[in-house]
């Protein structure tokens, strides 16, 4: 798969400040969701710099380089929300909650950008008219099986106006794990302002830079994730630049810790916003020097993990990977872990089974393999679902199989 292009940014993508300060360099890496088919293994993979910088004006942490989105979110996107049961439950619970909170009815339109396989919208569709927006063709087909219509496009001002003309304004616009993925964030916010009705809400979930800083979630850094927001940098972008109101915030325990923000047109702010800004101030997220510790835990995690798994391999232990998340590919490639360490990785996503991880070329296979041969150790690459997975695999654990959890610090359970 020849990936077309990338470019280095010299200015902050949010406030336009010149001169971004480098805080972590994870080297040249392939896109984290660019799983390979067997016949692609011998082809040269496109690698791109994975460099994290921070703006000294609005403190937005972002990637130095933008990779062509047409290539990252290509026609066949390998990530399906529905493959992770804990995530399905998370979105089903939220879908019901927000529908009741907003007293949605069938006259209301709900639009989700990056709607993937329609898991969230199918929880809202009993209450309101719903429309997904996603550039990838294959996930849209999965959404259709759930009865969710998807517009195959990137969300922005143009696609928002198309929806406005055809369907009217939106009472609710959703963006889960996508708001941090779009380089031209101003185009997205212009689209939201155009499409959202005067009483409407824009609700988005995204990883929180405070979690990456303090808890070593460095593996959430990959080319799809252009922004690593603090509430401070979000408020500047949404209010100072786009004149909307960041009205409410929640910290939610998904993908480590994520922010869920509520944005409206009127000037009304819940106490959660000033309280959270105070919390960020105590963490020093409004000071440049704080970000110089961004990568501090990464090398320690790498040394500890490599020492443990090398010793286990030397002792003849069999180690496999559990979950083939995008974040796992950042970790495998940065730590240079390949098939000589992990015999294979199991994953519940059918589309990933039979492929190979980008860069590290480890085979991804069905979880059924665990029933055929029992490994000695399992490296939990989907550490963000550790609780649910350890519960699900308690039988395996009772037979003596140990799980190695790499993030936030290496531990064997």
Residues binding ligand DWN (CB under 6 A): 79, 83-87, 177, 224, 255, 323-327, 347-349, 352, 382, 384-385, 388-389, 392
Residue 201 in 3-state DSSP? strand
78 vs 127 by CB, closer to ligand DWN: 78
87 vs 128 by CB, closer to ligand DWN: 87
Question: Measured from the CB of residue 149, what is the shortest distance to ligand DWN in angstroms?
Answer: 22
Question: Measured from the CB of residue 198, what is the shortest distance to ligand DWN in angstroms?
Answer: 30
264 vs 305 by CB, closer to ligand DWN: 305
CB atoms inside a 10 Å sphere around CB 114: 25
Question: Measured from the CB of residue 134, what is the shortest distance to ligand DWN in angstroms?
Answer: 12
Residues with Cβ within 8 Å of 170's Cβ and at least 6 positions away in sequence, in order, are: 109, 110, 111, 163, 195, 196, 197, 200
Q: 394, exposed or middle or buried, with CB in 10 Å at 0-12, 13-18, 19+?
A: exposed
128 vs 362 by CB, closer to ligand DWN: 362
Angle at which helix 185-195 crosses helix 157-167, to 10 degrees, equals 20
Question: Measured from the CB of residue 328, what is the shortest distance to ligand DWN in angstroms?
Answer: 7
Question: Measured from the CB of residue 321, what is the shortest distance to ligand DWN in angstroms?
Answer: 9
Rounded to whole angstroms, how far apart are CA atoms 145 and 142? 5
74 vs 84 by CB, closer to ligand DWN: 84
Question: Measured from the CB of residue 191, what is the shortest distance to ligand DWN in angstroms?
Answer: 19
Question: Measured from the CB of residue 380, what is the shortest distance to ligand DWN in angstroms?
Answer: 10
Question: Measured from the CB of residue 16, what is the shortest distance to ligand DWN in angstroms?
Answer: 25
Question: Measured from the CB of residue 219, what is the shortest distance to ligand DWN in angstroms?
Answer: 8
Q: What is the DSSP letter of 131?
A: E
Chain mean position to CA 176: 8
118 vs 323 by CB, closer to ligand DWN: 323
Residue holding tokens 């959404």? 143
Rounded to whole angstroms, how far apart are CA atoms 22 and 1? 30
Rounded to whole angstroms, how far apart are CA atoms 206 and 238? 15
Rounded to whole angstroms, how far apart are CA atoms 378 and 349? 18
83 vs 136 by CB, closer to ligand DWN: 83
Question: Measured from the CB of residue 403, what is the shortest distance to ligand DWN in angstroms?
Answer: 12
223 vs 265 by CB, closer to ligand DWN: 223
State the Cα torsion 391-217-348-98 to the nearest 10°: 80
88 vs 277 by CB, closer to ligand DWN: 88
Among 113, 17, 25, smallest CA distance to 63 is for 25
For residue 322, give both structure tokens: 């559990």
128 vs 396 by CB, closer to ligand DWN: 396
117 vs 157 by CB, closer to ligand DWN: 117
C-alpha distances out from residue 173 to 22, 121, 332, Å: 33, 11, 35
Question: Measured from the CB of residue 367, what is the shortest distance to ligand DWN in angstroms?
Answer: 6
Residues with Cβ within 8 Å of 382's Cβ and at least 6 positions away in sequence, in order, are: 84, 322, 323, 325, 328, 389
Among 171, 144, 145, 173, smallest CA distance to 159 is for 173
State the Cα torsion 119-122-124-129 to the nearest 10°: 130
Rounded to whole angstroms, how far apart are CA atoms 96 and 93? 5
For the chain, what is the total number of helices (H) and then of strands (E)?
14, 19
């Amino acid at each position: 798969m020849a990936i077309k292009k990338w470019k280095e940014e010299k200015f902050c993508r949010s406030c336009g400040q010149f001169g971004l300060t480098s805080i972590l360099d994870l080297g040249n890496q392939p896109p984290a969701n660019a799983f390979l088919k067997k016949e692609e293994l011998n082809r040269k993979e496109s690698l791109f710099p994975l460099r994290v910088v921070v703006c000294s004006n609005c403190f937005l942490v972002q990637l130095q380089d933008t990779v062509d989105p047409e290539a990252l979110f290509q026609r066949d996107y390998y990530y399906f929300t529905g493959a992770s049961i804990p995530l399905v439950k998370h979105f089903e619970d939220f879908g019901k909650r927000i529908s009741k909170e907003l007293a949605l009815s069938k006259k209301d339109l709900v639009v989700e950008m990056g709607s993937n396989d329609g898991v969230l919208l199918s929880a809202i569709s009993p209450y309101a008219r719903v429309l997904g927006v996603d550039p990838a063709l294959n996930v849209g087909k999965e959404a259709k099986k759930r009865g969710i219509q998807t517009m195959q496009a990137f969300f922005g001002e143009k696609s928002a106006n198309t929806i406005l003309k055809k369907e009217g304004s939106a009472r609710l616009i959703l963006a889960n794990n996508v708001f941090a993925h779009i380089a031209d964030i101003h185009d997205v916010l212009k689209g939201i302002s155009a499409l959202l009705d005067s009483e409407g809400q824009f609700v988005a979930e995204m990883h929180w830079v405070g979690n990456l800083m303090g808890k070593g979630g460095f593996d959430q850094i990959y080319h799809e994730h252009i922004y690593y927001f603090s509430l401070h940098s979000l408020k500047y972008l949404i209010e100072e630049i786009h004149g909307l109101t960041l009205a409410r915030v929640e910290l939610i325990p998904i993908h480590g810790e994520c922010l869920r923000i509520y944005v409206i047109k009127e000037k009304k702010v819940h106490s959660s916003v000033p309280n959270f800004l105070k919390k960020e101030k105590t963490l020093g997220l409004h000071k440049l020097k704080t970000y110089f510790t961004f990568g501090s835990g990464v090398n320690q995690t790498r040394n500890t993990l490599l020492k443990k798994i090398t010793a286990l391999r030397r002792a003849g232990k069999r180690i496999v990977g559990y979950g083939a998340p995008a974040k796992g590919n950042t970790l495998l490639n940065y730590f240079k872990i390949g098939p000589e360490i992990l015999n294979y990785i199991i994953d519940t996503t059918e589309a990933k089974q039979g492929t190979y991880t980008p860069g590290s070329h480890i085979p991804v296979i069905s979880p059924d393999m665990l029933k055929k041969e029992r490994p000695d150790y399992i490296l939990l690459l989907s550490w963000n679902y550790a609780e649910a997975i350890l519960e699900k695999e308690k039988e395996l654990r009772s037979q003596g199989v140990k799980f190695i959890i790499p993030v936030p610090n290496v531990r064997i359970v």
